[in-house]
């Protein structure tokens, strides 16, 4: 994974070389995402800059990727897991210039319409493709928004795109997130949604059952695909269900090299796992149990509250949000990424997405029926790019560590989401807890104390003292008067708590524009604040704390 920066709609009157220097400077703001190499493309219509984190084909594969005739230039941030299958399916020859998995995008562009070939890609990506002969820019983002992408227009009306907002802030007054599952064509000026699945509508899944074996095998295939790498990798292991399942499946494939069809021994056959928490945290203890069972080389790191607090300004600068839950969880993840990077690991698998697919959040216990449960799952999936995907990607990439998320694999989603939501619902009367269907599908993979461990928010699992300490710190540094006038200082999404106010002041330090503030939807990811959840239980309407502990009568801790 890497970073991209582009400027399009250049005019004859533009000083191209001055713009090139400016583009390099803006791209440097996100070089932490790609510390291995930089590449620049310039012609009369476009500038593309790429900062590379070399994961596949590290000796080659530098970007922007050019076609043999020089007519196409492509800058990609991401991974295309099915690139080998897509190469075999090409209808016409294409002269590949590298072994990069992402170069398949150029080949597909040459023979197929964007709406068609984008739906054939199984991967996580954000890219900008420039067709010199046509004077056409094609910009696209992966279906769920695992990979970040922003866009806007500068004062001269030129279109700019970047992997992170910091490369556009100050230049684009209309900076915004590029929507997941969409593509933009500069030739028509149209933004088009390409990712539409039948399972988004409950009517398409009602009554559908998915066999446990099919669910398990689909996830095993997803993890196997995402082990595509030519560099040392590991797994994030909190000891909860999701990360433990990712680690368990990865451990089964770790000894063979995925890139040559499992024919040879892996270059790094020992699977390493990583966890972090305060002293005595639930996650550190549970992660050790899981690691011992799976036989991973485990690394459990402790951090102090003071270390986390010291990191907050940099965390917010990197993750580009003032959302309370996201910041709480991003900070330990950011500190963990630094440790992982120091050990020479460049890619990790993580468990994001499972709660949105299977209704793992504790307020889902209150869902009145399968239809409403399913509708809320779709809402949560649509919001992932603003919360958990944003956290995982930017916290890790702050130190040049690429996170991959097998639960959000496109093929696995099609299996797990076409299941009637009644199969995912909690049934207290029978003792059926959240994500029971997933736990049942992997019976025998993990010890029962891990397989049936109750849901913990990541920011809770690292140690309850983390959240309590953040609240106390904010209480000491934000006055009642400041909070009462929050809507005057912050008219866009005014903070409702002192902790939220404290984070907002740090965000404003780096991103002062109104457009930047508007990229954060609502400013609080309190799960129970959704209209559906409030309808399920009116007490959720007044919930001010997004911690899992706030769901009364559900959390056992």
In 3D, which of 516, 510, 414, 389 has the Cα closest to residue 1? Answer: 389
- Told to judge if 2 belongs to the known catalytic residues of this protein, a careful annotator would answer yes
Rounded CA Rg of the chain = 23
Residue 141 dihedral angles phi and psi, to the nearest 5°: -135, 150
Angle at 278 between CA 276 and CA 281, to 5 degrees: 85
Catalytic entry in 2, 172, 389, 528:
2
Q: In what order do the strands lie in the sheet with 176-177?
A: 37-42, 46-52, 3-8, 159-162, 150-153, 176-177
In angstroms, the CA 88 to CA 281 distance is 48
| Helix, strand, coil abundance in the chain, percent, nearest 5 | 45, 15, 40
In angstroms, the CA 460 to CA 34 distance is 31
CA distances from 11 to 19, 157, 267, 551 (A): 11, 10, 49, 56
In 3D, which of 136, 143, 67, 135 has the Cα closest to residue 105? Answer: 67
Q: Assign 283 to helix, strand or coil.
A: helix
In angstroms, the CA 298 to CA 278 distance is 17
302: its two tokens: 């402790």
DSSP per-residue string spanning 220-240: HHHHHHHT--SS-EEEE--SS
Q: Per DSSP, what are the bridge partners of residue 41?
A: 48
User: Taking each helix axis from N to C terminus, what angle separates 241-253 and 212-226, rounded to the nearest 10 degrees?
Assistant: 70
In angstroms, the CA 517 to CA 508 distance is 8
499: its two tokens: 């902790």
Tell me which residues are annotated as active site: 2
């Amino acid at each position: 994974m890497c970073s991209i920066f582009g400027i399009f709609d250049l005019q004859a009157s533009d000083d191209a070389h001055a713009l090139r220097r400016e583009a390099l400077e803006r791209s440097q703001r996100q070089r932490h995402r790609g510390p291995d190499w930089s590449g620049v493309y310039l012609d009369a219509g476009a500038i593309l800059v790429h900062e590379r984190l070399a994961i596949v084909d590290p000796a080659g594969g530098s970007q922007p990727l050019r076609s043999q005739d020089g007519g196409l230039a492509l800058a990609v941030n991401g991974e295309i897991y099915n690139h080998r299958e897509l190469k075999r399916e090409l209808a016409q020859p294409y002269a590949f210039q590298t072994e990069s998995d992402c170069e398949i995008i150029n080949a597909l562009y040459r023979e197929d319409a964007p709406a068609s070939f984008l739906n054939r890609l199984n991967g996580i990506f954000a890219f900008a493709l420039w067709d010199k002969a046509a004077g056409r820019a094609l910009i696209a983002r992966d279906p769920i928004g695992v990979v970040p992408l922003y866009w806007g227009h500068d004062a001269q009306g030129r279109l700019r795109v970047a992997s992170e907002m910091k490369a556009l802030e100050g230049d684009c007054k209309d900076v915004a997130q590029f929507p997941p599952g969409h593509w933009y064509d500069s030739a028509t000026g149209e933004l088009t949604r390409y990712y539409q699945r039948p399972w988004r509508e409950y009517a398409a899944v009602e009554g559908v059952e998915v066999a446990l074996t099919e669910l398990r095998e689909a996830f095993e295939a997803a993890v196997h695909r995402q082990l595509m790498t030519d560099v040392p990798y590991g797994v994030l292991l909190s000891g909860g269900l999701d990360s433990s399942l990712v680690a368990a499946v990865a451990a089964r494939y770790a000894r063979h090299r995925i890139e040559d069809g499992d024919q040879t021994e892996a270059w790094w056959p020992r699977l390493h796992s990583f966890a972090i928490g305060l002293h005595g945290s639930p996650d550190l203890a549970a992660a050790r149990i899981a690691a011992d069972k799976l036989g991973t080389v485990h690394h459990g790191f402790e951090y102090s509250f003071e270390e986390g607090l010291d990191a907050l300004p940099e965390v917010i600068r990197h993750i580009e949000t003032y959302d309370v839950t996201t910041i709480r969880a991003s900070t330990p993840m950011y500190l963990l990424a630094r440790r992982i990077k120091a050990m020479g690991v460049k890619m990790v698998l993580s468990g994001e997405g499972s709660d949105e697919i299977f209704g793992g959040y504790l307020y889902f216990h209150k869902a009145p029926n399968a239809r409403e449960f399913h509708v809320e799952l779709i809402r949560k999936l649509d919001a992932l790019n603003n919360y958990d995907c944003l956290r995982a990607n930017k916290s890790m990439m702050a130190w040049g560590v690429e996170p991959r998320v097998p639960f959000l694999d496109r093929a696995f989603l099609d299996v797990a989401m076409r299941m009637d939501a009644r199969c995912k619902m909690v049934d207290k009367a029978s003792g059926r807890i959240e994500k029971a269907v997933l736990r049942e599908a992997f019976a025998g993979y993990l010890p029962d104390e891990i397989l049936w461990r109750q849901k913990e928010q990541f920011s809770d699992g690292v140690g309850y003292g983390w959240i309590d300490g953040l609240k106390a710190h904010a209480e000491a540094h934000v006055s009642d008067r400041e909070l009462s006038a929050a809507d005057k200082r912050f008219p866009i999404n005014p903070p409702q708590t002192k902790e939220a106010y404290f984070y907002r002041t740090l965000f404003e330090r780096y991103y002062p524009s109104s457009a930047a503030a508007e990229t954060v939807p609502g400013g609080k990811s309190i799960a129970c604040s959704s209209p559906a959840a409030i309808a399920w239980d009116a007490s959720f309407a007044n919930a001010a704390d997004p911690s899992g502990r706030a769901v009364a009568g559900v959390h056992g801790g």
